[in-house]
Homo-oligomer: A and B are copies of this chain.
Amino acid sequence: MLKKNIPGDTIKRLPVYLRNLLNLKKEGKKIVSSKEITFSLNISPVQFRKDLSYFGKFGKRGVGYDVDNLIKMLKKIIGIDKKIKVILVGVGRLGSALIRYKGFSSMNMEIIGAFDNDPNKIGKKIEEIEIMSMDRMPEFLKRNKIEVGIICVPFDKAQEVAEHMIKSGIKGILNFAPTRLNLSKNIFVNYVDMASELGFLIFKLKNL
């Protein structure tokens, strides 16, 4: 089903559509048009239909999209039709905020374990999530079949931590530390770089 060369921006919009469809479902909507789906998203209906077209045919011309069916399909395409369990490493302020972040669970993604090297944090809990020592990672990942981890450590610890995560069984990393990681090509890393995003905004303001 999957075509190659799907733009990254298309893939990143899928969870945005999904989240909105979940809201529309809550409002009791059963069938929606592409206009209704995109109205509050500041994305054009044309863009939405183009994004979906990479993955097959959905919806009926002149009728619209079945909300339940499109939710199901989007979850399947993204890979969150079953709950995806992830770990988080680095329980500082940002890490703690992410553990408590409510935006993951509605999308079938859940942080179920946290790791830190601070003895004062190890053994404590945040929202039922235990903070564990780093050496417990391999066993925890194996037992819970986890391959995805979030890095929230300081920038000068991120490379070392990433290598430990990979040795422990992690295959994909979402990195919040403000640094790039130098890892084997078969590991997928996605960066959330807050200073870069703010810089991008400042650039755009200056030039538009």
* Residue ranges of A at the interface with B (Cβ–Cβ < 8 Å): 2, 8, 11-16, 18-20, 39-43, 77-80, 84, 86, 92-94, 96-98, 100-101, 103-104, 106-107, 109, 147-148, 150, 155, 171-174, 178-183, 188-190, 192-208
Question: Assuming A15-B199, A19-B195, A172-B202, what are 19 further A-B pairs, CB within 8 angstroms?
Answer: A2-B207, A12-B196, A12-B199, A13-B196, A15-B200, A18-B199, A42-B183, A78-B202, A78-B203, A79-B205, A92-B97, A93-B96, A94-B101, A106-B195, A147-B205, A171-B205, A172-B201, A190-B200, A192-B192
A200 touches which one: B8, B150, B203 (CB < 8 A)? B8
Tell me the bound Cα distance from A78 to B206 in angstroms.
Answer: 8
Which among A84, A109, A202 has the greatest number of chain B C-beta atoms within 10 A? A202
Q: How far is the CB of A94 from chain B (nearest CB, A)?
A: 4
Contact of B207 with A201 in the complex, beta carbons under 8 Å: no
Decide: A80 near B199, CB < 8 A? Known: A19-B178, A148-B205, A205-B171.
yes
- 12 residue pairs of the A-B complex, CB under 8 angstroms, read A12-B193, A12-B199, A42-B183, A78-B199, A78-B203, A79-B199, A80-B202, A92-B97, A93-B96, A93-B100, A96-B97, A190-B204
Contact of B97 with A148 in the complex, beta carbons under 8 Å: no
Tell me the bound Cα distance from A74 to B98 in angstroms.
Answer: 31
Q: How far is the CB of A109 from chain B (nearest CB, A)?
A: 5
Decide: A182 near B42, CB < 8 A? Known: A171-B205, A205-B172.
yes
Contact of B195 with A208 in the complex, beta carbons under 8 Å: no
Decide: A190 near B201, CB < 8 A? Known: A40-B182, A93-B97.
yes
